[in-house]
Amino acid sequence: MVPRRNSHVLVASILFTFIWDDVHRVIGRINGELLAKHTGYKRGNVVKIGLILPTNSSYPWSLQRTRPAVEYAIETARNQLKLLPAYDLEVSVNDSECSDITAPLAAFDMYARSRANVFIGPCCDYAMAPIARFSPVWGIPVISAGAHIDAFKNKNEYKLLTRIQGTYEKYGQFFFSMARYFNWTNIGMIYNDNIYDPNMGRSNCYFQIQPIYQLWVTYHQNEVWHVVIDERDPEINLRKILSDASLYTRLKDFRWYKEGKCRLNDIFVDSGRSQLKRGVVDVRGRFRNASCGHSEQFHRLQTSLIRC
């Protein structure tokens, strides 16, 4: 025999189910009436989104990583009737390959087939540049979480480009403010660039270091010691580079692990034995490298070597 208390719970659950179904039907009817009364409402009013990103998953903004977020945002917009009551959202996808050739062709294909009212992406700088130049002619705005380099702030050339993340210029301003706060007056720079394959264009490291260099030279009116390397060079001598850095940037007491097997990511600087007066600022945050079996504990520094 079922206890009386459980019987009450069962009856209440059944009644709640019927009431909940009625509430949903009423809400659905009200939403339908709101849509029908909207003066601009037509079946077929569609905002077409052109998503141009790489399918290669090695990129942090690859389609595998970003498309779920885009689809979630679209479903959220569809469920908020007051947001776009007269329109639906439709997504078309093309692979940018992070290429300055493939990406513009992908955008032109969407434009020619009327498949985009707005572009999301690309994020790679060289892939973005031609699309951002064409978009004012096509009348299609571009939204990107990339396009970090300083040139994209030129609204005469990139009129319809909206960048939704911080730029390398802002990073440079941040570092420069930090350097003034700690009274850093002597810095050096080591960065990776595509020396042996110039057809690849400038590296991200170059674009990240550039605003720091420009701000520093403009403010201090002196040159910054810097070295450009290509990490693919099998004959690179990082020990010599660090020795030279110690002469020009007051970088001392560095320790080198597994000589000949590590690359620039594996530079290790010991700032603990030198009264906190030298160290490294890693602009890409990749100082821990399992292949070399070490990591660094940073202290409050007063001078710096910048690496990328």
pLDDT in tens, 102-133: 999 999 999 999 999 999 989 998 899 999 99
pTM, 2 dp: 0.64
Out of 3.30.70.100, 3.20.20.70, 3.40.50.2300, 1.20.1250.20, which CATH number does the structure's domain 42-163 have?
3.40.50.2300
Buried b (16+ CB within 10 A) or exposed e, 180-214: eeeebebbbbbbbbeeeeeeeeebbbbbbbbbbbe
Question: Could you read off the pLDDT of 29-51 as tens digits, one per residue?
Answer: 545 554 555 444 454 588 999 99
Dist CA 201 CA 94 (whole Å)? 23
Q: What is the pLDDT of residue 308?
A: 62
pLDDT confidence bin for 264, thresholds 50/70/90: very low
Question: Could you read off the pLDDT of 134-171 as tens digits, one per residue?
Answer: 999 999 999 998 888 888 989 999 999 999 888 888 88
User: Domain boundaries in the chain?
Assistant: 42-163, 169-307
Q: Cβ–Cβ contacts within 10 Å for residue 65, how many?
A: 12
CA angle, 261 as apex, 191 and 228 as ends, to 5°?
Answer: 15
Dist CA 78 CA 85 (whole Å)? 8
Dist CA 308 CA 293 (whole Å)? 20
